[in-house]
Amino acid sequence: MSLHPFGTLDDGTDIQEIRLQNAAGARASILTIGAVLRDLQIPRADGSLQRVVLGYETLEGYKANPARVGATVGRNANRIADGRFELDGRAYELPINGAGNVHLHGGPVGFALKPWTIVEHGDSFVVLSLTSEDGDQGWPGRVAVTCRYDLLEPATLTIAMSGTTDAPTILNLTNHSYFTLNDAADCRDHVLHIPSEFYTPAAANLIPTGAVAPVAGTAFDFREPIRIGDRGPDCDVNFVIAGPIGAMVPAGRLASPDRRLAVDVVTNQAGLLIYTAGGFKATAPGIDGQVHGPHTGVCLETQAFVDAPNKRHFPPTVLRPGQTYDHRVEYRFSRS
């Protein structure tokens, strides 16, 4: 592990880059802004490294980061309809910052854009923390969260996110990395396998209708591995992960177009949201000249269901004093 200056925010806060490496040679780069996964490189058979996520070259890309590239997103990942929800009989209003009159990814200055603090670190791991005060972006309660990255042998990245609160609130985090398993490949040429039998259909503004519907006969049936583009032009949909919530279960598998590199997603969350980045724009230079733009990466977001606070039959996202939010995900890379 090594620490490197990565620039300074407009308010004078210094941002650090934490570089991790394991014994097999895998490397990861984490930033203290947004607890961002800036870079992840997996060893090839010849000893060279292959970059498998999108990242920005400089801090400028992360100051606004409209696509939340690599960030830890909160307090609530994804969308809240009309920026409103009720909790314990009290109505809350959140800022609208997404198309379709929605509150998106925790608000205009959510966790993805805030400086985090390094708590602990080692050669192949780092723990970062953030405190969000009562009323931050309209959310109730003072929330303290941590995000731990571990780079395991030979090529697995684990992310563990936890949180506590001093008052009832909503907490639903995710990592918002864009994965690409072939350099400069269109993500729709990747092969996707999701064993889920069900998904949550959504309206035009991507707020779920409330239904939990079978994937059979739809464009979202990935129960057998298939090229993403063969299912349609784009994807931004939540799948219901089979298995008990809280247990670590396989959620999906993404393979490169030639199927020589794959990543398995294993998590304890209720949902896996797949976003093929149709609206992703190149707002800043990519790391080492990496190409950014529509469909240059695919998000594999483990999280609670979209708009869960407004859907009583969805798995709950309420966090109360004395409880601990627990979110774990593993991205396991393998070659054939």
Of 48, 21, 267, the residue nearest 154 (C-alpha): 21
328 is in an annotated binding site: no
177 annotated as a binding-site residue: yes
- Give yes or no for a contact between 311 and 305, defined as CB atoms under 8 angstroms apart: yes
Extract the runs of DSSP E, i.e. beta strands, from 166-287.
169-170, 174-176, 178-179, 191-193, 198-199, 213-214, 226-227, 236-240, 249-255, 261-267, 271-275
Does 275 count as an annotated binding residue? Answer: no
Decide if 30 contacts 149 (C-beta within 8 A). yes
Query: Could you tell me where the beta strands, DSSP code E, fall in 209-270?
Result: 213-214, 226-227, 236-240, 249-255, 261-267
Full strand arrangement of the beta sheet holding 198-199: 178-179, 298-303, 271-275, 236-240, 198-199, 213-214
> What's the CA gap between 227 and 286, in Å, rounded?
25
Is there a cis peptide before residue 108, judged by omega within 30 degrees of 0? no
Nearest Cα residue to 249 out of 270, 277, 221, 219: 270
Q: What is the mean pLDDT of the chain?
A: 97
Which residues does residue 263 pair with via DSSP β-bridges, in sequence order? Answer: 254, 333
Q: Is 197 a catalytic residue?
A: no
pLDDT tops 90 at residue 176:
yes
Residue 236 labelled as part of a binding site: yes
The predicted model scores a pTM of: 0.97
In terms of Cα–Cα distance, which of 74, 43, 53, 40 is closest to 296? Answer: 53
301 is catalytic: yes
Q: What is the pLDDT of residue 227?
A: 98
* Nearest one of 331, 289, 68, 304 to 177, comparing CA atoms: 68
Task: Respond yes or no on whether the N-terminal peptide bond of residue 75 is cis (omega within 30° of 0).
Answer: yes
Query: Which residue among the candidates 176, 292, 295, 327 is catalytic per the annotation?
Result: 176
- Rounded Cα distance between 40 and 21, Å, is 10
Could you state, in order of their start, the residue ranges of all structural domains in the chain? 2-335
93-132, pLDDT tens digit by residue? 999 999 999 999 999 999 999 999 999 999 999 999 999 9
**Does 78 carry a binding-site annotation?**
yes
Structural domain 2-335, CATH architecture: Distorted Sandwich (2.70)
The DSSP symbol for 296 reads S
pLDDT (tens digit per residue) in 45-96: 898 999 999 999 999 999 999 999 999 999 999 999 999 999 999 999 999 9
Of residues 296, 291, 270, 299, the one with CA closest to residue 68: 299
Whether 11 has a binding-site annotation, put simply, is no
Q: Are 331 and 265 in contact (CB under 8 A)?
A: yes
Tell me the per-residue pLDDT of 271-323, one tens digit each, with 9 for 90 and over. 999 999 999 999 999 999 999 999 999 999 999 999 999 999 999 999 999 99
Chain segment 161-174, per-residue pLDDT in tens: 999 999 999 999 99
- pLDDT band for 184, please (50, 70, 90 cuts): confident
Q: Which of 103, 121, 301, 330 is catalytic?
A: 301
What is the C-alpha to C-alpha distance for residues 125 and 149, in angstroms, rounded to an integer?
5
